[in-house]
Amino acid sequence: MADFSQRRDLFRLGGVGLALATAGAALNPRVAAAEAAPTSLLRTVLDRGHLIMGTGSTNPPWHFEDEQGKLTGMDIAMGRILAKGLFDDDSKIEFVQQDPAARIPNIVTNKVDVVIQFMTVTPQRAQLVAFSRPYYIEGVGLLVSPNGKYKTYQALLAAGKSVKASILQNVYAEDLVHQGLPESEVMQLDTTANSMQAVIAGRADVVVVDASTAKWLAKKNPNSYVDVGFYWGPQLYSAAMRIGDPDWLHWVDTCFDVAMHGSDFPVYSTAFAEFFGEKPPEQKIGFPTI
């Protein structure tokens, strides 16, 4: 009975209590650095005392400057989650602002520790960099004007050939639009801004944009845009790192898992709600669905 009581008391501590009681020293970054492989970037970052992250500054809701000129966005939030996991301080991060074309070169040349810059995962890119577990599934979305003829996806679909859909000009524009609105007339314009303005001006009934952009603009400008809530064409967004460093990759994956499904979920959920206007589903207690 004594043994059972002791075991019961131990389990009462649970993962949190037991970890705090026995592993306090391991929370020290210097101690953690000693546990990492000598060649791993994990040890380098911990020894340095801050994370170096490549990202952008001009693409809301992913990375952009707020009214005070401070970098913000979902990519920035994910970087701060890593800094918090490394140093228990989300300010210990240096942002290297870069063009999207520099994302892979800056990883390969070790200019940055990690890139978090709305980077789409592809098998071709995965031959050059190592991708973390995805932190968002991007897609294609639709925005209409609250003053327009059509307010829902069902109405747009039913209108068929009468619908004019604007989109940024590219070689896949026609096919992309027709995957969601098979009979619509496609208007290809030179910039995303002009394609969105066409809806405001009444020259187009709907604009086809990234789903994240649709969610962001509908949240920030409800008097100008309505997100009809239909999305297609899933693509994965992940953090990217150098190939050949399993310790670093595994640590980033673990940190993202804890943020998206575990004890740090409130941080991830708050950022998700801020930038997309919705809360992600919480992990249910019991069988893991990571």
- Indicate if the pLDDT at residue 197 is higher than 90: yes
Residue 22 DSSP label = H
Report the DSSP pairing between strands 114-115 and 51-55. parallel
Give the count of beta carbons closer than 10 Å to the beta carbon of residue 288: 10
Instruction: Determine which helix (DSSP H) or strand (DSSP E) holds 154, and give its type and residue range.
Output: helix 153-159
Determine the 3-state secondary structure of 160 from DSSP. Answer: helix
Q: List the one residue out of 277, 192, 275 whose CA is nearest residue 226.
A: 277
Rounded distance between C-alpha atoms, residue 182 and residue 146, angstroms: 23
Domains parsed from the chain with CATH numbers: 14-135+238-276 (3.40.190.10), 138-235 (3.40.190.10)
Mean pLDDT of the chain: 90
Q: What is the mean pLDDT of residues 194-203?
A: 96
Interior CA angle at 220 toward 214 and 222, to 5°?
80
- Indicate if the pLDDT at residue 83 is higher than 60: yes
Q: What is the pLDDT of residues 86-144, one digit of tens each?
A: 999 999 999 999 999 999 999 999 999 999 999 999 999 999 999 999 999 999 999 99
Rounded distance between C-alpha atoms, residue 94 and residue 7, angstroms: 45
Interior CA angle at 42 toward 123 and 71, to 5°?
75
Query: What is the chain's Cα-based Rg?
Result: 23
Instruction: Determine which helix (DSSP H) or strand (DSSP E) holds 61, and give its type and residue range.
Output: none
With contact defined as beta carbons under 8 Å apart, do 181 and 163 qualify? yes
> Residue 290: which pLDDT band, with cuts at 50, 70 and 90?
confident
> Residue 35: which pLDDT band, with cuts at 50, 70 and 90?
low
Q: How distant, in Å, are the alpha carbons of 17, 71, 178, 218 from that of 187?
A: 60, 34, 12, 21
